[in-house]
């Protein structure tokens, strides 16, 4: 089954383009016939019931699933016109351009400074002045600078959960990604921190393409420009994209009755 749904206007061919994409974990066909274009420098939310492949699809976008043995994909997925699964693409380089934030904050057991400087150092930045500037700018972009500027030597793990999540965001921003993948980034942090992460997403969106997996319809409504609804209709069958479009339109006029059932809380 191939489902093609409304794609945002994207005249320059930028952003992530997906065509008839399928994905398998061993024999299990997890995703089928996904077609969509992710708008550059906007916020797109992936929604759907548990197990409908949202995280799987997100992880395909920076080839994180390559790290799981026995996985396989078919179809096209490109970033700014370049096939990310083409031979010769270095997944490590791809993951610098397409950074990821997980549900559980996962700072390194190092200082705040070293967490943020880690990626730039790997990229060959050695000057202390340059690293200081990158650390400060990244922490500012992640809305954490004011809280930690006087204690950059403190262990990242000693921060609160919400601060740790923003530290992880600063660590990703330090290598200047084009895309930020966020897999339920707010489900393990307190409400005040949720607000800070959502504010920061809005601040970053003009420069970074953001894709967020969320179980919260309220969060999807608050933060996203576009929304994609995934569904696995029957156990054992692959999930697929059911509806995709402008968030406010999907909430006010869903085109598919299954989307309407989900957003009105009738299942999932
Ligand atoms: N590493 C894995 N190996 C095998 N199957 C997997 C693996 N990860 C996920 N799956 C299966 O793929 C399907 C999609 O899972 P996925 O985690 O992508 O869904 P999801 O929509 O993100 O779910 P949730 O909202 O609960 O996080 C599920 O049937 C899941 O059991």
Domain for residue 135, yes or no? Answer: yes
Distance 52 CA to ligand 1 centre (A): 7
Please work out, in degrees rounded to the nearest 5, the angle formed at the alpha carbon of residue 246 by the alpha carbons of 240 and 248: 115
Separation between Cα atoms, residue 117 and residue 128, nearest integer Å: 10
pLDDT digits (tens, 9 = 90+) for 50-66: 999 999 999 999 999 99
Look at residue 266 in the predicted model and tell me its pLDDT: 76
Separation between Cα atoms, residue 231 and residue 262, nearest integer Å: 10
- Residue-number span of the structural domain to which 15 is assigned: 3-263
- Longest Cα–Cα distance of the chain, Å, equals 57
Q: How confident is the model at residue 10 (pLDDT cuts 50, 70, 90)?
A: low
Residue whose pair of structure tokens reads 């179809």 in the numeric block:
75
Choice from 53, 59, 60 to test ligand 1 binding pocket (greatest atom count within 8 A of CB): 53
In the predicted model, what is the mean pLDDT of the chain?
Answer: 93
Closest residue CA from atom 3 of ligand 1: 25
Domain for residue 268, yes or no? Answer: no
Helix extents (H) in the chain: 54-60, 91-97, 112-122, 128-141, 145-148, 161-173, 191-204, 217-223, 247-252, 257-263
Q: Residue 80 burial (CB < 10 Å; 0-12/13-18/19+)?
A: middle
Distance 56 CA to ligand 1 centre (A): 6
Distance 134 CA to ligand 1 centre (A): 36
- ipTM of the shown complex: 0.98
Question: Domain count of the chain?
Answer: 1
> Is pLDDT of 102 > 80?
yes
Separation between Cα atoms, residue 154 and residue 173, nearest integer Å: 20
Comparing CA positions, the residue from 225, 211, 134, 215 lying closest to residue 180 is 211
Residue whose pair of structure tokens reads 């206007």 in the numeric block:
9
First to last CA, the chain: 22
The CATH number for 54's domain is: 3.40.50.300
Q: Which pTM value belongs to this model?
A: 0.94
Q: Which residues surround ligand 1 with Cβ inside 6 Å?
A: 25, 28, 30, 48, 50-56, 68
165 Cβ neighbours under 8 A, 6+ residues apart: 101, 105, 185, 186, 188, 189, 193, 197
Cβ atoms of 143 and 182 within 8 Å: the answer is: no
3-state helix, strand, coil in the chain (%, to 5): 35, 25, 40
């Amino acid at each position: 089954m191939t489902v093609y749904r409304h794609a945002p206007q994207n005249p320059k061919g930028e952003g992530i383009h997906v065509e008839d994409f399928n994905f398998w974990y061993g024999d299990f066909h997890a995703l089928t016939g996904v077609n969509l274009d992710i708008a550059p420098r906007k916020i797109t939310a992936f929604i759907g019931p548990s197990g409908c492949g949202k995280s799987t699809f997100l992880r395909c976008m920076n080839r994180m699933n390559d790290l799981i043995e026995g996985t396989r994909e078919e179809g096209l997925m490109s970033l700014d016109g370049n096939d990310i699964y083409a031979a010769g693409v270095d997944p490590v380089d791809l993951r610098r351009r397409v950074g990821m934030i997980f549900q559980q904050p996962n700072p390194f057991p190092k200082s705040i400074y070293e967490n943020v400087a880690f990626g730039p150092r790997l990229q060959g930045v050695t000057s202390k002045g340059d690293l200081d500037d990158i650390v400060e700018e990244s922490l500012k972009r992640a809305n954490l600078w004011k809280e930690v500027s006087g204690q950059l030597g403190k262990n990242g793990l000693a921060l609160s959960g919400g601060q740790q999540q923003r530290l992880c965001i600063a660590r990703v921003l330090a290598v200047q990604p084009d895309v930020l993948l966020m897999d339920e980034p707010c489900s393990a942090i307190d409400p005040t921190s949720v607000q800070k992460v959502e504010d920061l997403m809005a601040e970053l969106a003009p420069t970074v393409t953001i894709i967020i997996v969320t179980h919260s319809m309220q969060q999807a409504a608050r933060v996203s420009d576009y929304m994609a609804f995934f569904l696995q209709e029957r156990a054992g069958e692959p999930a697929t994209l059911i509806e995709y479009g402008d968030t406010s339109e999907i909430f006010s006029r869903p085109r598919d009755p299954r989307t309407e059932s989900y957003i009105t809380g009738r299942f999932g």
